[in-house]
């Protein structure tokens, strides 16, 4: 069957419709959901089709996260909408001190099947408090899983896996990618967590990326092909658990790696990945692992300054030329 072309928002809505149809313990909780079907239209049709299973809350992330936490412990499968990932700071205690740890502290007697849905990323001229990429905070938190899809088909397959998972999953989606369209399979499918995808094959360098970084890499790979450099684009899709096998196979082939993400470089996921690569694949490397990420600044409100701080395609090209020595 030919794939349809859907936006990420539509792919997400379709996945939620299918999942909520399948399992009545699934519900959505967050701010301003019912009236607008989510601020990005991502819950389109759900208030009408599943009344009572999409719930508006007061403006309190502590309350939203706590609600999801309690519901998950008592047998429901909540999807907690954080509106902007930046607001997770207000739900940190519930997420990190409770959700991440409870299954372990109770000796496995409770499960915590909760999805924390976090629109993130910059480029919308939304200034420092509404533009962050915070995924590496949660990668550093044992007990949480971290998923960051790029293309619409990944959004659909991964949100399903996240919902069906019995552990709390942080699900980051870049705000600029909601409208991005792509082919989505007609038939039912789930993309298991911890499975990266080689989306473009190449033999000269591995571009390891996720979320918005994926699109930078695709564009860079296209340009590099013109220079005779064949870049392999590996979309990690899940940062935790991490599909190190796919990364290893790629690097064993290319011997060079560049990690690309929108989060700032210092302490970003690229640091962790580069460390693991040098540890596990030292003998395969023909160049130091390069990281491409935002500069270490709060995202500026001024558009030229925001663009200056964010990583771009030429940053990726520069890194690739450095590691391929050409």
Partner 1 sequence: MPTEIKIPKLGLTMTEAILVEWSVGAGKAIAVDQIVCVIETDKVSLEVQSPAEGFMHPVAEAGSRVAVGEVIGYVAEDEAALAELQAREPAAASATGKAAAPATAPEPPEKAPEPPPSPAVKPDRRPGERIVATPAARKRSRELGVDLAEVAGSGPGGRIVLADVATAAEAAEDERYEGMYDFGSVAPESEMLTVEETVPIRGIRKIISRNMKLSLSSQAQLTLHTEASARGMRETRALFNTRLEEGQVPVPYNAILVKAAAAALRQHPRLNAVVDGRDIKIWKEIHIGMAMDFGRGLIVPKIRNADAKSIRVIADELGDLVERAQNQKLVPDELQGGTFTITNLGSWDIDGFTPINNFPESAILGVGRIVDKPWVREGAVVAEPRMALSLTFDHRIIDGALGARFLKTLKDRIEDTRLML
Which positions touch partner 1 (CB under 8 A)?
255, 282-287, 325
Does residue 171 contact residue 138 with C-beta atoms inside 8 Å? no
Supply the angle between the helices 152-164 and 8-22 in degrees, to the nearest 10: 30
The distance of closest approach from Cβ of residue 198 to partner 1 in the complex, given in angstroms and rounded to an integer, is: 14
32 or 284, CB closer to partner 1? 284
Please state, in angstroms and as integers, the Cα–Cα distance from residue 199 to each residue in 99, 103, 151, 188, 234, following that order: 33, 35, 11, 21, 6
Active site residue 130: yes
Q: Is 239 helix (H, G, I), strand (E, B) or coil?
A: strand
56 or 286, CB closer to partner 1? 286
Q: What would you report as the CA-atom Rg of the chain, rounded to the nearest whole angstrom? A: 19
The distance of closest approach from Cβ of residue 255 to partner 1 in the complex, given in angstroms and rounded to an integer, is: 5
128 or 285, CB closer to partner 1? 285
49 or 203, CB closer to partner 1? 203
Distance CA 31, CA 258 (A): 38
The distance of closest approach from Cβ of residue 293 to partner 1 in the complex, given in angstroms and rounded to an integer, is: 22
Sign of the alpha-carbon torsion through 127, 129, 130, 132: positive
Other beta carbons less than 10 A from residue 21's beta carbon: 11
240 or 255, CB closer to partner 1? 255
Three-class secondary structure assignment of 283-320: HHCCCCCEEEEECCCCCCCCHHHHHHHCCCHHHHHHHH
The distance of closest approach from Cβ of residue 244 to partner 1 in the complex, given in angstroms and rounded to an integer, is: 18
The distance of closest approach from Cβ of residue 256 to partner 1 in the complex, given in angstroms and rounded to an integer, is: 9
Distance CA 45, CA 298 (A): 36
Check residue 237 and report its DSSP letter: -
Catalytic option among 83, 130, 255, 261: 130
Distance CA 262, CA 269 (A): 10
Catalytically active residues are 130
């Amino acid at each position: 069957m030919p794939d349809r072309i859907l936006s990420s928002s539509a792919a997400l809505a379709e996945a939620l419709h299918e999942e909520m149809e399948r399992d009545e313990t699934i519900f959505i909780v967050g701010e301003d959901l019912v009236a607008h079907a989510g601020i990005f239209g991502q819950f389109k049709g759900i208030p009408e089709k599943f009344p009572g299973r999409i719930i508006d809350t007061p403006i309190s992330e502590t309350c939203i996260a706590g609600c999801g936490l309690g519901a998950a412990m008592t047998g429901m499968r909540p999807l907690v909408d954080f509106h902007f990932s930046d607001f997770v700071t207000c739900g940190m205690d519930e997420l990190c001190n409770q959700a991440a740890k409870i299954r372990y502290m109770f000796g496995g007697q409770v499960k915590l099947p909760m999805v924390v849905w976090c629109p993130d990323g910059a480029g919308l001229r939304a200034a420092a408090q509404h533009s962050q990429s915070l995924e590496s905070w949660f990668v550093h938190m044992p007990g949480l899983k971290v998923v960051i899809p790029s293309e619409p088909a990944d959004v659909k397959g991964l949100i399903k896996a996240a919902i069906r998972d019995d552990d709390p999953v942080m699900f980051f989606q870049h705000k600029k990618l909601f409208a991005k369209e792509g082919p989505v399979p007609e038939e039912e499918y789930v993309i298991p967590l911890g499975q990266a995808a080689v989306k473009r094959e190449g033999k000269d360098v591995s571009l390891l990326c996720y979320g918005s970084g994926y699109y930078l890499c695709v564009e860079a790979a296209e340009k590099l092909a013109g220079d005779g450099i064949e870049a392999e684009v590996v979309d990690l899709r899940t940062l935790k658990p991490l599909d190190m096998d796919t990364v290893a196979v790629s690097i064993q082939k290319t011997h060079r790696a560049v990690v690309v993400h929108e989060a700032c470089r210092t302490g970003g996921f690229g640091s962790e990945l580069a460390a693991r690569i040098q540890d596990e694949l030292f003998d395969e490397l023909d160049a130091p692992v390069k990281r491409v990420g935002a500069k270490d600044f709060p995202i500026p409100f001024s558009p030229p300054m925001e663009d200056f701080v964010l990583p771009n395609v030429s940053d990726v090209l520069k890194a690739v030329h450095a590691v391929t020595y050409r």
